Chain A
Amino acid sequence: MDRELLIEIGCEEIPASWLPGLTVQVAKHLDARLKEFRLTPESKAEGFSTPRRLTARVAKLGERQTDFEELVTGPPVSAAFKPDGEATPAATGFAKKYGVEVSALEKHDTPKGTYLAYRVRQRGKATVDVLAEVMGGLLRDLTFPKQMRWDAFLEDGKGDLVFARPIRWLVLMYGGRVVPFVIRRTELAQGPTVQDIRSGSNTYGHRFLTTSGRAGRAIKIKTFEDYQNRLLENFVILDRAERESKIRRELETHARKLGGRVSGLVAAHSSLLQEVPDLVEYPSVVAGHFPVEFLQLPEEVLTTTMIHHQHYFPVVDEEGKLKPAFLAVTNTQAEKPEIIARNSERVLTARLRDARFFWDADRKVTLESRIERLGTILFHKKLGSYREKAERVSSLASWIASEAFTHSDASEPAATAGRLCKADLATDMVRELTELQGTMGGIYAREEGLPEAVWKAIYFHYLPIGVEADAPPSRQQLGAAAITWAAVALADKLDTVVGMFTAGERPTGSRDPLGLRRHAQGAVKILADLPELTGLDLRLEVGPLLARAAEPFGGYGDGSGPLLSFMGDRLAYLLEQRGFDVRSVRAVMAAGIERVSPLEARRKLEALAQMAGSQALLGVATLLKRVKNITKGVSSDVPANAISSALKEPAELALWAELEQRAPAIRAAAAKGDYREAFSGIAALQPTVAKFFDDVLVNAEDADLRTARLALVATLRDLILDIADISEIVAD
């Protein structure tokens, strides 16, 4: 009969940001372990979590393991018996290993010959008898961003059991009965206050709240349903989605009572709404106010203080202007919520008072005069201080504005913004509210009366963060600063990426502590969306920008290979994130990242996407593969009359004529960025190209003819490859 399996790992508070991942892990690893132990659930395991528990449940799990049968091969028969038929030591040794006579072994035919073999048969054990091993495996399987030792071990011979936080209780029940399992404590710690953790049928609810009995006591449970109900009676909502919807509901109600709504900023900082449900077991919302005088602080300072530092939700009026109020999500249902509200108000007010102190003090010193202090803040030990970084950014930004963007009028503001963009790291406000770096510098620059082209370039220079086409900032937000901003933002990111690579800092696997991927993506996004962001229709290649960024570091040294492939990966990532086909992305990046312009790549992909159904283009693409193969090492740089005079077959003459006629238009379309037109021109070549390959043997015996034909085909090849290696779009 199928029975329910319920596991609850009772913990001290697990970090909120880990819980979504752990909820998935606990179910996934349980499924895998059940499978390994030949236990058959009727459905997949479900995972749940609150800060103090990781829970997994399998609604129906069979009572026995499936039987096990395996054929273990031993020595070849030829080596197993002496000529007189007596077993050799190889045979007796193998039999002995399994505790049987040689006569009990089978002969097993394989392609390599006949071998002695032993058939292992194991009757499935009762599920209850293997669940302890499943539990041990599950505890070992869970991984955490950071783990701790807590004087615990398992009796599986693998020693210490590290975990997220100490485990305080363990529920392991199958069919309503406890399956014995123990987490041992080390000898050094073991004592009256440190004990083994034994599996049981007790869970624990909210520490301070209950509907009956004493809060925080052990609660006996029977089934998952019972478990969930008993938890709710004890102020624990097991289901994260329910916690989140309770939070949303109460946020709305309270905001309405305050005559406003929850700030849309919260959507931009959506991490707050994502994080809060994992910080609480029983959320309820409390509303508070702060003195109206603090509304004079920049909105960014107010919201950052509320959102990042206090996990409070700001409230806005109908026009989106901040109200002097906030909403706090608490982990309780207080008899007198006003007590919590008053205390929260005091904490927030104290923080805002600090912020106002910084705001007043910081504005007494200009950004320019803070640059010297930047010399004491380290950017990277091999790359020097932020002062040096700012100098590099300034010079690179100025070069980008005048040389790459050919806007010499933007050069000076870009140099100024570059020089000042890190100065806010030396302000008290940013030292306290690090999330505001850049933003605060921009605000202070505005307060100093610096032009829009400068202050906005500073304000937005850490952006873009996302790779989506509409990731902020928008052209409208940038206003008159668009070009200087692009120069500064690009310069900052390129300097960081190139510098860090030359310093030997490279992201590996999931490790990217310096956020280099984000920086590189930001840079290619600016290039890919340059017209939309700045109005500049420039197809800038990545190579020259990287080379210029590398100059202060004495070039990339040996690092150019990894750096280029890294940049290529980041552009490919951006393009794939935007929904372009992986093969098409390869096609437009075939020239190598140095020679790729992200904007050009994007437009080619847009054109290719529009032509996705074109059989003619696909036909040329398929033939291009063949063309590339036969023209390896062949140059198309052959005088035209040398080709045309040698050709004689109608199909080859037709292709020659077609190329003569269409190539200029295709090249012209590509040159002006009309890739739809260019690809259409290439597609139109299809019948002629197809006929050529049907009728003509390129490898003619006559050497002159062969040379001419290869040159003809190479001409076709280069015409296409100059735009994209469309042979990549053909499915294998």
Chain B
Amino acid sequence: MTFQDLILKLSAFWASQGCLLQQPLDLEVGAGTSHPETLFRVLGPKPWSVGYVQPSRRPDDGRFGQNPNRLFKHHQYQVILKPSPDEVQQTYLESLEACGINPRQHDIRFEEDNWESPTLGAWGIGWQVMLDGMEITQFTYFQQMGGIDLAPISCEITYGLERIAMFLQRVDNVFDLEWGGGVKYGEVRLQEEIEESKYAFGQVDMPAEEFSALHRDLFEKYLGFSDRLLASGLVWPALEHCLKCSHLFNILDSSGSIGVTERTTYILRVRQLAVKIAKAYVEKGAVA
């Protein structure tokens, strides 16, 4: 099964389960959780089920395309089920079967792994799903988002697409995956990985101080503007600019541009903004 077939299978499966199929957020984010289809939709009482792919950037995981398992940018298939159905584990296991993983031939386990995002003021309880010793999915029952206690509880299922595809195609190097039609993952993404890694670690033809100052400046500008957007009652654009801050913070962190105490301050500032945005979203009644 090719990388793109896997996406098609999961999409078809979850569509058949009543999920809306959404598209990735067209911004740089670290995980599908940042997408408003998760971040906003899990707030408030309105039932919502959705599935989408989210390209996810983790600057710190960049390895210049040299590591067979680690990427600056990987792809998640994100499913949100609100409220979380009683049969959700069973349905999830059926989704694996739909992708060609026969559970009777493998060792599939749900091992404790709780999730927390300090920048989003969010946390949940759940597991990592292990397939023959490999983590393939993060499974979380959200408890809080943007500092708000959730009711009803949503279930988030996050598939690591590269991992699962490598398992299905029996390849040991992510760049050897077949993306589709005989084209390799490396052909599609290797150059991008190398360049993005260089950027993430500050290997830019520019003095380190300048690199740092530019990103700090951008952070401040986006943060300030997000606040203005929020004051104007525009929560969706406010969230987008908040997410930009989150990514800039990640870059500042991976490029070694910030010290320890400062680091906590940055996290706190993004969280405070995210909390305000979540609160505003709920208050707007956009959730009713």
Residues of A within 8 A of B (CB): 12-13, 15-17, 51, 146, 148-151, 165-166, 168, 186, 188-189, 191, 193-195, 207-209, 215-216, 279-280, 286, 310-312, 328, 330-332, 334-336, 339-340, 343-344, 346-350, 353-354, 357, 375-378, 381, 385
Contacts and interface: CB of A to CB of B under 8 A. Distances in A.
Contact of A344 (B133, B172, B256): B133
A339 B105 CA distance: 7
Contacts of B132: 339-340, 343-344, 347
A208 B260 contact: no
Interface of B: 45, 47, 67-70, 83-87, 89-90, 93, 103-112, 114, 125, 127, 131-134, 141, 143, 149-153, 167, 170, 172, 256, 258-261, 263-264
B120 to A, nearest CB: 18
Nearest to A192: B85
B112 A375 contact: no
A632 B14 CA distance: 82
Of A328, A332, A334, A357, the most chain B CB neighbours within 10 A belong to: A332
Given A335-B104, A381-B264, A186 B125 contact: no
B83 A15 contact: no
Given A207-B103, A346-B134, 20 more contacts: A13-B111, A146-B125, A149-B143, A150-B153, A151-B84, A188-B152, A193-B85, A216-B90, A280-B109, A312-B133, A332-B107, A336-B105, A340-B106, A343-B131, A343-B167, A346-B172, A347-B132, A350-B69, A353-B68, A376-B259
A323 B1 CA distance: 35
29 contacts: A16-B112, A149-B143, A149-B150, A149-B153, A150-B84, A151-B151, A166-B84, A168-B86, A188-B45, A193-B85, A193-B86, A193-B87, A194-B84, A194-B152, A195-B86, A207-B103, A207-B108, A216-B90, A286-B107, A311-B133, A328-B107, A328-B133, A334-B104, A340-B107, A343-B132, A344-B132, A354-B70, A375-B259, A375-B260
A150 B141 contact: yes
Given A12-B89, A166-B141, A376 B256 contact: yes
Given A347-B134, A376-B256, A330 B107 contact: yes
Contacts of B104: 208-209, 215, 332, 334-335
B153 A151 contact: yes
Contacts of A279: 109, 111
B167 A378 contact: no
A343 B134 contact: yes
Contact of A188 (B89, B133, B151): B151
Nearest to A387: B260
Given A16-B112, A344-B133, A354-B69, A194 B85 contact: yes
A312 B107 CA distance: 14
Contacts of A215: 104
Nearest to A334: B105
Scoring A166, A186, A335, A353 by chain B CB atoms within 10 A of each residue's CB, the highest score goes to A166
A344 B83 CA distance: 35
B83 A193 contact: yes
Given A343-B106, A343-B133, A194 B86 contact: yes
A15 B153 contact: no
Contacts of B258: 376
- Interface core residue of A349, A376, A385 (most chain B CB under 10 Å): A376
Top-3 shortest CB links A-B: A343-B132, A193-B85, A15-B112
A215 B167 CA distance: 25
A188 B82 CA distance: 10
A312 to B, nearest CB: 8
A13 B110 contact: yes
Contacts of A216: 90
B253 to A, nearest CB: 9
